[in-house]
A and B are shown apart, each in its own frame.
Chain A
Amino acid sequence: MMGKRLLSMLMASVALAATGVSAEAKTVLHVMHQGDPGWVSTYGEVAKRFEAANPDVDVELIYAPHDAYNEKFSAAVMSKQLPDVMELDAPFLANYVWSGYLQPIKPLVDQDVLDDMTASNIAQGTYPIDKDLYAIGLTDSSVVLYGNRKYLEAIGARIPKAVDDAWTQEEFEGYLEKLAKVDGVKWPIDTFRGYGIKTEWITYAYGPILQSAGCDLIDRTTWKSTGALDSNACVKALTMMQTWVKNGWVVPQSSGTNQFFAEGHPAALALGGHWFYAEAAASMKDDIVVMPLPKFGPKGASPNGTWIWGITTASEHPDIAGKFVSFMLKDKLYRDYATADSGYPGLKSFAAASPLYDTGGPLAVAFEQASKTAVARPPHPAYPVITSAFMQAVDEIFNGGDAKSALSAAAAKIDEDIEENDGYPPFDEQQ
């Protein structure tokens, strides 16, 4: 007994030593990513399959939690431990490229994968200065308006089927008012304030409302926020949202994020991400209606962008890094997991294999938005300040603050940061 155990221990240590030796000879590829536990294990599986296909490479996954991703990335830069491949949130791309941490990926990733990208996917990975591609993803994202069929029928609402017949602002606000009086409806709409006040959701989901209303977080030619974010159109749009909150039409922040499908269905509409569908549909069945985002001006707008993959300038093996990215994006099981997660297609071949988004599929209208109304968040290196200032303003306004002064303060803060960084050259010359 004793001898056997000793022997097995000995063998284990020999085996350990052996792997230690062979690992040294292998190329180690560091991959930094975020994601919920399901994705984390999926990346682990992808890494294993890549290692099996490339026996001379060891993939080392570095997990950084979603909420502290930029902090973790900063720490990696400071300690000179940048990974080879990193997942990044699309709106931060300009900041990373401008700071010199990402390299163009066109020469590194397989051509068939590049050709497979949707226009919105290319947009989210492109740096506006050199118009080159710095990141790529299997998926993209969008926000739609979910509705509870029973409530909508109760008020006789028109149900738009395509992006072009989206509700106008008058229709939308009229329906909110009517829904507020329907039995069983506690709140006409959930705008997912429950995600918190310091989350990218604010800029991501509410930004398009501004763009549809005819203004923006920042002027995208002069790169000045004063005059854009505090313009009358933006003030009007946010005052409108403030009124919804004041009227008690919006699910409060402290009521969580499940009121649309919770017992009794207290929320009638939900301005939610495509990822919300799987969860909501599972409990609502046929009662869920997917509609395009309403128009708050002459043209509609919808968000895009998600977590995509880039290759850092610190990588000693950019070719292998590119190989890994191509491998992952084509990997069948990776795609299967994305499909199961109701992943929003960023590659055309993936769209064709996603019944959810295909013509006639329940989320077809969400996918239609990508080509018709999608507006990327401002691709500017000052984005961290832009989004932080906007979140602050929205919190202020939703809690009764004056929209004009909150937005002016945010705009001033953004411009101050840009000034402090000498205009983030060469962005200051992009007139």
Chain B
Amino acid sequence: MTLQQSAQPAVAARPAWRRDKSRLFQEIGMLAPAVALLTIFLIVPFLLSFWTAMTNQPLVPRPTPIRFVGFGNFLRIFRDDLFWTSLWNVSRFTFWILPVQCGLAFATALLLHQKMPFRNLFRGLFFLPAITSMVVVCVIWGTLFQYPTGPFNQVIGFLSGGTIEPIDWLGDPNWAMFSIVLLSAWQAYGFQMIVYLAGLQSIPDELYDAARIDGANALQRFWHVTMPGLRPTHVFVLVITTIQAFKLYTQVAILTQGGPKSSTETVVHYMVRSGFEEQKLGYASAVSVILFLIVLVIALLQRQLLRRFDV
């Protein structure tokens, strides 16, 4: 300590600008690769998409000139019922997936946090769906969902003794989104589970010991030690899951293509449809800008929430 303190004035004795300048070059040099990559692959495309959103640019170059249309694309999007449907659907999806996926993740994390034999093996097993490709999961679940003789319907029919009619999981507008919620939650909960496990491990054992000495039972320890200790984890998991939910695409593209009756149309799917199928790149860019703003608002709310919880 003393050594450092005595050394500091010596450094400070050098002219401030010179020291700063050499450090500045160093810092710029270290930042440069990251900044360059981010600029090329993130910032420039992002600004370009803003610009494209203001034009009628088609996907494939055409003989007609590209025109500046101002906010025309945005106005058209806001007038399109399908866009509002897709936004509503994504909100519905988020509303359902949050309790299902986070609840599942939390429950398994609590379970796997216990001291038990083969704990790491179980942790690995429960994490397996998360490292399986969503495409593969969709194809497999597509078969499970089959109507009227798929495995799910057979199990339900068997358990109910045939009293429950087979469910058209993906073909019934009332069921399709819920079915997608089920498979999405199953595929992705592993990530949240890991985050929860990390959160659980970061709660010091001393707190539990102190609670025990104070005579707290298991439930009381859970409510008064575990839950407060996990507060930042909860917020983080909720926000991450929400943002992911807003980007729902793969499952829909593979299983339902937005149907039936637009009940699973999502914002990203709507964007891909207008950009690639209908070849309206400008229009699709405008959708992407809107989606960006929505996700941005959510991210800002996240910061606010995190601050409130003193993280």
Contacts and interface: CB of A to CB of B under 8 A. Distances in A.
A171 to B, nearest CB: 29
A399 B277 CA distance: 22
Contacts of A254: 145-147, 168-171
A149 interface: no
Contacts of A196: 257
B147 A252 contact: yes
Chain B: interface secondary structure? Answer: loop
Nearest to A406: B261
Contact of A399 (B173, B273, B278): B173
Contacts of A424: 64
Nearest to B273: A388
B276 A400 contact: no
Contact of A74 (B59, B147, B148, B262): B59
A253 interface: yes
B73 to A, nearest CB: 10
Nearest to A262: B149
Contact of B278 (A77, A78, A255, A385): A385
A425 interface: yes
A417 B56 CA distance: 10
Interface residues of B, number: 34
A243 interface: no
Given A252-B171, A254-B168, A396-B262, A74 B63 contact: no
A399 B60 contact: no
Contact of A99 (B62, B171, B173, B260): B62
A401 B260 CA distance: 11
Interface in B161-182: 168-171, 173
A253 B148 CA distance: 11
A399 B147 contact: no
A384 interface: yes
B190 interface: no
Chain A: interface secondary structure? Answer: helix
A385 B275 CA distance: 11
Contacts, number: 89
A78 B281 CA distance: 12
Contact of B171 (A74, A253, A400): A253
Contact of B146 (A256, A416, A421): A256
A201 interface: no
A384 to B, nearest CB: 5
Given A252-B171, A395-B260, A401-B261, A420 B56 contact: yes
Interface in B117-142: none
A71 interface: yes
B280 A253 contact: no
Interface in A399-431: 399-401, 409, 416-417, 420-422, 424-425
B175 to A, nearest CB: 10
B151 to A, nearest CB: 13
A278 to B, nearest CB: 24
B278 A74 contact: no
B261 A396 contact: yes
A74 B62 contact: no
A220 interface: no
B60 to A, nearest CB: 5
Interface string A369-388: 00000000000000011001
Contact of A255 (B81, B148, B256, B263): B148
Contacts of B173: 399-400
A425 B63 CA distance: 9
Contact of A100 (B63, B145, B258): B63
Contacts of B279: 70, 74, 384-385
A196 B76 CA distance: 27
A255 B64 contact: no
The 5 closest A-B pairs by CB, nearest first: A399-B261, A254-B171, A198-B257, A254-B147, A197-B259
Given A198-B259, A253-B171, A421-B58, 13 more contacts: A70-B276, A77-B60, A77-B61, A99-B62, A99-B63, A253-B170, A253-B260, A254-B170, A256-B146, A420-B56, A420-B280, A422-B64, A424-B64
Interface of B: 56, 58-64, 76, 81-82, 145-148, 168-171, 173, 256-263, 273, 276-280
Interface of A: 70-71, 73-74, 77-78, 98-101, 196-198, 252-256, 384-385, 388, 392, 395-396, 398-401, 409, 416-417, 420-422, 424-425
29 contacts: A70-B276, A73-B60, A74-B276, A74-B279, A77-B60, A101-B60, A197-B258, A197-B260, A198-B273, A198-B277, A252-B147, A253-B259, A253-B260, A254-B146, A254-B147, A255-B147, A384-B277, A384-B278, A384-B279, A388-B278, A395-B259, A396-B261, A396-B262, A399-B263, A400-B261, A401-B261, A421-B64, A422-B64, A424-B64
